[in-house]
Chains A and B, each alone.
Chain A
Amino acid sequence: MAETALRVEEVTKQYQGHLAVDNISFEVESGILFGMLGPNGAGKTSTIRMITGITLPDKGKIFLNGKRVDGSLTSGIGYLPEERGLYRKMTVGDHLMYLIRLRGFSSKEGRKKVDEWVDRFEIGSWWNKKIEELSKGMQQKIQFIAAVMHDPDLMILDEPFSGLDPVNSNLIREEIRRLSNEGKGVILSTHRMEQVEELCEKIVLINRGRIVLHGNLESIKESYWENRYSVGLGEGQGLPVMEGVEPVAVHKNNRIELQLHEGMGSRDLLRGLLDHELDIQLFQKSLPSLNDIFIKVTGEDLVQAE
């Protein structure tokens, strides 16, 4: 049984007549990568600001490790904001040391922690470089280190992959997985559905300040499964017309998405395919993508809206 790192209870936040967050509740458990999804302006950042204690909710409560967040305490959360939150004129080393000392580490302990991360990301040669001299991707790496180096129990990473090339993206992705596996609470906030699908076990999907979906990613997908299968056929083979089977899309490598009519099951489909003596190279349940679910639930297309 995973511990609850964060509990958000019926939280509402209003900005000058605009309801940014509308009665949101969810929980984040330690060791389970949690994805907070939603289009830009959905209320993700407003929610994060309340969790980190930057603003207070108008209504509702937030508990961090069982303790209520009320603005009087610093949260000790590891927070990676979407924008670059760095002192541009400071050197990489000074910056990291400054932040770790503010988080209560002595210079010596802090240096050990910082060095650990500097070695892990192999950026020792950047120690004396000024932040403003770094590329966007480099800055993002420094910011990531700054957010996690002090071993917080809960880390909130807002669009952590922005500005990163694929190599560094992978590096950060592996670190996020490792931190989660070590039993930390990690919230990955993004508008990029595929990142969450790839990494997260549990999600909350927010749109227009409200929770649209919440729970285990796989079970959500299962619950929105619409009797679809994906079939891969041998080269050059076409799909014959079959009763109750409708092709929806054809992907590369002759992979075909099939929609089965009500009452039909996987056995009926497989039997039909075998009857036509087709070379079946792949046969699997086709779960909807998060984007498909999002469209279905909200009537809005997140990818199109980009």
Chain B
Amino acid sequence: MNKVGIIAGREYFSRVKKPQFLLITLGAPILFGLFFVVVAFIFSMTGTEQKKILISDPSNILNERFEAGSNLTAEFRTGTRSQLVEWKQAEGFDGILIVPQVDSPSVSSVNLRYLSDQRLNIDMDQSISSYFNRRMREWKITRLGVDEELLASLNTRVRISSSTDLAATDLDDDEVGEGSSIAPYVAGGIGLVIAMLIYFMVFINGTMIMRSVMEEKVNRIVEIMISTVRPFDLMMGKLLGVGAVGVTQILIWMIFMPAIYFAVIAIFGSSMNMEAAAGMGGEAPEVDSSVIAGIVKELASYNWLLISISFIFYYVGGFFLYSSLFGALGAMMGDDLGENNSLSLVVTIPIILAIYIGIVAVQSPNSSLVVWSSMFPLFSPIVMPCRLAFDPPLWQVFVSFALLIAFTLFVVWFAGKIYRVGILMYGKKADVKELIKWLRTK
């Protein structure tokens, strides 16, 4: 046991003592944050290009009013096509929008023409066509003499309030409905963040172990090690040492993340966050205080104890499960890089599959694929955290726990055996006979 500690200590300190360690640990979230800021910035950049266009609207559908976007200004003129082109060139318009003559409100399609030196970009295409669609509708309503209020009453807003609390009686409570409509998003967000964290930690630390095992094998230090320590102890030492590095990183993040967050807010102002959220979201939700209040309320309603315990449990379980597999893989590797890469696919594919299932789990946490995956040990460390915020049945969580523990123990044992054989094989693949012989030894 003592030897495991010495090995774990070396693995741990040789990594943590490196000057790069703190740099990478602290730098990663900063880079990550910077990435989002840059993305938000890029998104906000696209809209700032000011365009001035000339519109020919003979039927006066737009009524000399054009508000398709803050970066688009328009001027209405009537003339022949060649006149319009002349004006465009002379007065420096960016383009000409020609609305065709429309006589009857019963037309089902209208073809606008846009003449310019540059092709219409997607952004402008969408804003102009959706704006025109709206104005066309207004125009038709007036022409047809339809009552606008009557029309509006045809629309019904539908919202689903989801709750697992079957005993709740206040189903008609409007406030509950309001809060819960964002629940799936908040729950999904929590799930994905945790799953992503586990995914990255398991992946990065796993490959780290794989590389370190492979290096020991290739430079043959392992021959000295094996005459001193048991292979299983060597592997365990590595797992514990590198696992501790991961935990250290999480702790550092937990301490520094809020600090960085506040620093960013202080420097850029909170508006940056809004912009970032709007930019990332695609269809920008109107972020108002009631939504934030809703999220906060939603967050408070979760079983955080269960979520935290599960997070630690699934991290540890997933880490040991995958790292021991990565370790065994490292032991089977030689110095042939191509072969190593294809070998490592054996373990990386399940992890990548798991994260995809995790994304599906956030969308439909109770589909049978997701339910079974959240109990299947190779996927559960990533898929179950995605489901946790959706209050899955407790028995499923416990089955998932139990299966993960049992399977991890088995995999660590099995990987230890493969490791034992693989790490001492040079130039030749571990053959089945040899493997069986080692599986039999104590």
Task: Give the interface of A toward B (CB within 8 A).
Answer: 15-16, 49, 52-56, 70-72, 74-77, 79, 81, 83-90, 98-99, 101-103, 146-147
- B-chain residues with CB within 8 Å of residue A84 when the two chains form the complex: 219-220
A164 to B365, CA, bound (A): 66
Judging by beta carbons under 8 Å apart, are A49 and B229 in contact? no
Query: Is residue B51 contacting chain A, with contact meaning CB distance below 8 A?
Result: no
Query: Is residue B115 contacting chain A, with contact meaning CB distance below 8 A?
Result: no
A84 to B218, CA, bound (A): 10
Judging by beta carbons under 8 Å apart, are A89 and B14 in contact? yes
A86 to B14, CA, bound (A): 15
A40 to B348, CA, bound (A): 40
Q: A54-B226, A72-B442, A102-B7 are in contact. Are A49 and B424 (CB under 8 A)?
A: yes
**Closest-CB distance, B141 to chain A (whole angstroms):** 76
Most buried by A among B14, B222, B226, B228: B228
Judging by beta carbons under 8 Å apart, are A74 and B224 in contact? no
Judging by beta carbons under 8 Å apart, are B223 and A79 in contact? yes
**Closest-CB distance, B224 to chain A (whole angstroms):** 4
10 extra A-B contacts, CB within 8 A, seeds A49-B223, A87-B219: A52-B223, A52-B227, A53-B226, A54-B424, A74-B226, A75-B227, A76-B228, A84-B220, A102-B7, A102-B229
A103 to B442, CA, bound (A): 21
- B-chain residues with CB within 8 Å of residue A81 when the two chains form the complex: 220, 223-224
Query: Is residue B437 contacting chain A, with contact meaning CB distance below 8 A?
Result: yes
Judging by beta carbons under 8 Å apart, are A85 and B226 in contact? no
Judging by beta carbons under 8 Å apart, are A72 and B441 in contact? yes
Judging by beta carbons under 8 Å apart, are B219 and A102 in contact? no
Query: Is residue B3 contacting chain A, with contact meaning CB distance below 8 A?
Result: yes
Judging by beta carbons under 8 Å apart, are A56 and B226 in contact? no
Q: A16-B431, A90-B14, A102-B229 are in contact. Are A83 and B6 (CB under 8 A)?
A: no
Judging by beta carbons under 8 Å apart, are B428 and A15 in contact? yes
A71 to B224, CA, bound (A): 14
Judging by beta carbons under 8 Å apart, are A99 and B224 in contact? yes
Q: A55-B424, A101-B6 are in contact. Are A79 and B227 (CB under 8 A)?
A: yes
- B-chain residues with CB within 8 Å of residue A83 when the two chains form the complex: 219-220
A89 to B215, CA, bound (A): 11
Judging by beta carbons under 8 Å apart, are A86 and B219 in contact? yes
Judging by beta carbons under 8 Å apart, are A103 and B219 in contact? no
Q: B1-42 CB contact bits vs A (8 Å, 1 = yes)?
A: 001001100100010000000000000000000000000000
Judging by beta carbons under 8 Å apart, are B441 and A102 in contact? no
- B-chain residues with CB within 8 Å of residue A56 when the two chains form the complex: 437, 441
Judging by beta carbons under 8 Å apart, are B431 and A52 in contact? no
Judging by beta carbons under 8 Å apart, are A98 and B10 in contact? yes
A139 to B6, CA, bound (A): 23
Nearest-neighbor residue (CB-CB) of A156 within chain B: B227
**Closest-CB distance, B156 to chain A (whole angstroms):** 68
**Closest-CB distance, B109 to chain A (whole angstroms):** 70
**Closest-CB distance, B339 to chain A (whole angstroms):** 18
Q: A54-B424, A55-B424, A84-B219 are in contact. Are A146 and B437 (CB under 8 A)?
A: no
Judging by beta carbons under 8 Å apart, are B428 and A85 in contact? no
- A-chain residues with CB within 8 Å of residue B428 when the two chains form the complex: 15-16
26 residue pairs from A and B, CB less than 8 Å apart: A52-B223, A52-B226, A52-B227, A53-B227, A54-B226, A54-B227, A56-B437, A56-B441, A70-B441, A71-B441, A71-B442, A74-B227, A75-B227, A77-B227, A79-B227, A81-B224, A83-B219, A85-B219, A85-B220, A87-B221, A90-B14, A99-B228, A102-B225, A102-B229, A103-B228, A146-B224
- B-chain residues with CB within 8 Å of residue A88 when the two chains form the complex: 219
Query: Is residue B230 contacting chain A, with contact meaning CB distance below 8 A?
Result: yes
Task: Give the interface of B toward A (CB within 8 A).
Answer: 3, 6-7, 10, 14, 219-230, 424, 428, 431, 437-438, 441-442
**Closest-CB distance, B175 to chain A (whole angstroms):** 61
Nearest-neighbor residue (CB-CB) of B228 within chain A: A102
Judging by beta carbons under 8 Å apart, are A85 and B223 in contact? yes
- B-chain residues with CB within 8 Å of residue A70 when the two chains form the complex: 441
Most buried by A among B10, B224, B437, B438: B224
A102 to B88, CA, bound (A): 83
A71 to B434, CA, bound (A): 13
Nearest-neighbor residue (CB-CB) of A102 within chain B: B228
A70 to B223, CA, bound (A): 16
A81 to B219, CA, bound (A): 11
- B-chain residues with CB within 8 Å of residue A53 when the two chains form the complex: 226-227
- B-chain residues with CB within 8 Å of residue A54 when the two chains form the complex: 223, 226-227, 424
A52 to B438, CA, bound (A): 16
- B-chain residues with CB within 8 Å of residue A102 when the two chains form the complex: 3, 6-7, 225, 228-229
Nearest-neighbor residue (CB-CB) of A81 within chain B: B223
- B-chain residues with CB within 8 Å of residue A71 when the two chains form the complex: 438, 441-442
Nearest-neighbor residue (CB-CB) of A58 within chain B: B437
Judging by beta carbons under 8 Å apart, are A74 and B223 in contact? no
A146 to B224, CA, bound (A): 9
- B-chain residues with CB within 8 Å of residue A87 when the two chains form the complex: 219, 221
Nearest-neighbor residue (CB-CB) of A143 within chain B: B224
- A-chain residues with CB within 8 Å of residue B223 when the two chains form the complex: 49, 52, 54, 79, 81, 85
Judging by beta carbons under 8 Å apart, are B441 and A79 in contact? no
A41 to B230, CA, bound (A): 27
A103 to B226, CA, bound (A): 11
**Closest-CB distance, B8 to chain A (whole angstroms):** 12
**Closest-CB distance, A117 to chain B (whole angstroms):** 16
**Closest-CB distance, A205 to chain B (whole angstroms):** 24
- B-chain residues with CB within 8 Å of residue A77 when the two chains form the complex: 227
**Closest-CB distance, B103 to chain A (whole angstroms):** 82
Judging by beta carbons under 8 Å apart, are A98 and B6 in contact? yes
Judging by beta carbons under 8 Å apart, are B441 and A86 in contact? no
- B-chain residues with CB within 8 Å of residue A86 when the two chains form the complex: 219, 221
- A-chain residues with CB within 8 Å of residue B6 when the two chains form the complex: 98, 101-102
- B-chain residues with CB within 8 Å of residue A146 when the two chains form the complex: 224
Judging by beta carbons under 8 Å apart, are B221 and A74 in contact? no
- A-chain residues with CB within 8 Å of residue B442 when the two chains form the complex: 71-72
- A-chain residues with CB within 8 Å of residue B226 when the two chains form the complex: 52-54, 74
Nearest-neighbor residue (CB-CB) of A84 within chain B: B219
A127 to B229, CA, bound (A): 25
A91 to B219, CA, bound (A): 16
Judging by beta carbons under 8 Å apart, are A85 and B431 in contact? no
A77 to B223, CA, bound (A): 11
A88 to B442, CA, bound (A): 32
Nearest-neighbor residue (CB-CB) of A55 within chain B: B424
Judging by beta carbons under 8 Å apart, are B424 and A79 in contact? no
A49 to B223, CA, bound (A): 8
**Closest-CB distance, B221 to chain A (whole angstroms):** 4
**Closest-CB distance, A202 to chain B (whole angstroms):** 23
- A-chain residues with CB within 8 Å of residue B438 when the two chains form the complex: 71
- B-chain residues with CB within 8 Å of residue A89 when the two chains form the complex: 14
A88 to B10, CA, bound (A): 14
A89 to B18, CA, bound (A): 11
